[in-house]
Amino acid sequence: MGETATADWTDAFRSLPGVRGVRMEKNEAVIDADRAMLPALMMALRDDPRFSFEQVMDICGVDWPERPERFDVVYNLLSVTWNRRVRVIVTTDERSPVPSVYTIWPVATWWEREAYDLFGVVFSDQPDLRRILTDYGFEGHPMRKDFPLTGYVEVRYDEDRKAVVYEPVKLTQDWRTFDFLSPWEGLTTLPGDEKVHGERLTDIKTKLPTPTDPPKA
């Protein structure tokens, strides 16, 4: 489609229910939509022959923790008929549910479960809202920006109990004793280790045998 067709396309988007705004990013239309009107908008995008977005390729989340509605829920749609894509974005918080679109695209169940698992986004009217990527009993949502990188618990096999156990994260480090001496030629002191390096050399010198004068001929 040329520039005129693209302009007509975006103008047509603005006439659909629940559309707050339309913008172009890298030659793809992005629709900012009203959360409550999402099912009506998605039905129009799928069934209106002007658009024919037959497939939802992905549903994902984006976390903006500084915002009151911290999550973007992003729907990437594909029109096989027109060989075009569109991105639909709605916003929500930790408690306000987003209407499910699984009755429009059954495959959306997988993506909605993933968004719930990783971000904690709740989808109303979704009959199978279970975690899909994390383990049984997992606490929290690991793709939130305030979730610690190490997590809260670690999983290991306990040989004594003969079972898999969950325990609080322990950042165990086996390499606690360093001599701070680089094995590479030309780098004998790492940045910030000058004091320790000096103390180590002093300790080594105190342990060296006292030199004696060579015997006279």
- pLDDT for the residue 145: 92
**For 94-109, how does the pLDDT look when each residue is reduced to its tens digit (9 = 90+)?**
999 999 999 999 999 9
Q: Would you say residue 4 has pLDDT above 50? A: no
Q: Which domains does the chain have, with CATH numbers?
A: 3-129 (3.30.460.80), 178-208 (no CATH)
Claim: this prediction has a pTM higher than 0.75: no
Say whether 143 sits in a helix, a strand or coil.
coil
| 203 or 115: which leads in pLDDT | 115
What's the pLDDT score for residue 182?
55
**Residue 215: which pLDDT band, with cuts at 50, 70 and 90?**
low
Which pLDDT value is given to residue 183? Answer: 58
- Alpha helices per DSSP H over the chain: 3-14, 38-47, 108-119, 194-207
Please give the backbone phi and psi of residue 170, each rounded to the nearest 5 degrees, phi first.
-125, 115
In sequence order, what DSSP letters do the residues of 62-116 get, joined into one string? EE-TTSSS-EEEEEEEEETTTTEEEEEEEEE-SSSPEEP-TTT-TTHHHHHHHHH
What is the pLDDT, as a whole number, of residue 194?
A: 57
